[in-house]
């Protein structure tokens, strides 16, 4: 699956579970580890975990390689690494604190 197709796959799967405030950043010129970062919010720890788990399950069913995931236990911030696309699912207060969108847009 090409990067753009994988990005759309991720966006579709997180939309299935009503992820909020979805932002897609093309970081291909700033990073040599990924092409896109998808950042979204969940309404609670349970919602954050569910969004990430749904993507992991759907990716496995589609035969995609998941390089790793972090943060599922605490579920304040869950990262799912699919290689060309990295998903960050965060609770609002965590997202406000780290401001990933601002960090990566400043380096664009």
Residues 47-93 pLDDT 10s: 999 999 999 999 999 999 999 999 999 999 999 999 999 999 999 99
Kindly report the pTM of this predicted structure.
0.94
44: domain CATH number is 3.30.460.10
**Residues of the domain holding 84:** 3-106
Distances (CA, A) of 29 to 36, 91, 92: 10, 28, 28
Q: Residues 6 or more apart from 80 whose CB is under 8 A from it?
A: 52, 55, 56, 59, 66, 68, 69, 86, 87, 89
- What is the count of structural domains for the chain? 1
Looking at per-residue pLDDT, the higher value among 30 and 1 belongs to 30
């Amino acid at each position: 699956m090409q990067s753009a197709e994988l990005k759309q796959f991720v966006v579709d799967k997180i939309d299935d579970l009503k992820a909020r405030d979805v932002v897609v950043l093309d970081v291909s010129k700033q990073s040599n580890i990924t092409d896109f970062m998808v950042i979204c919010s969940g309404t609670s720890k349970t919602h954050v975990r569910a969004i990430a788990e749904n993507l992991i399950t759907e990716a496995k069913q589609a035969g995609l390689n998941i390089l790793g995931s972090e943060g599922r236990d605490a579920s304040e911030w869950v990262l799912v690494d699919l290689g060309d696309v990295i998903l960050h699912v965060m609770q609002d207060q965590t997202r406000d604190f780290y401001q990933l969108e601002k960090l990566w847009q400043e380096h664009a």
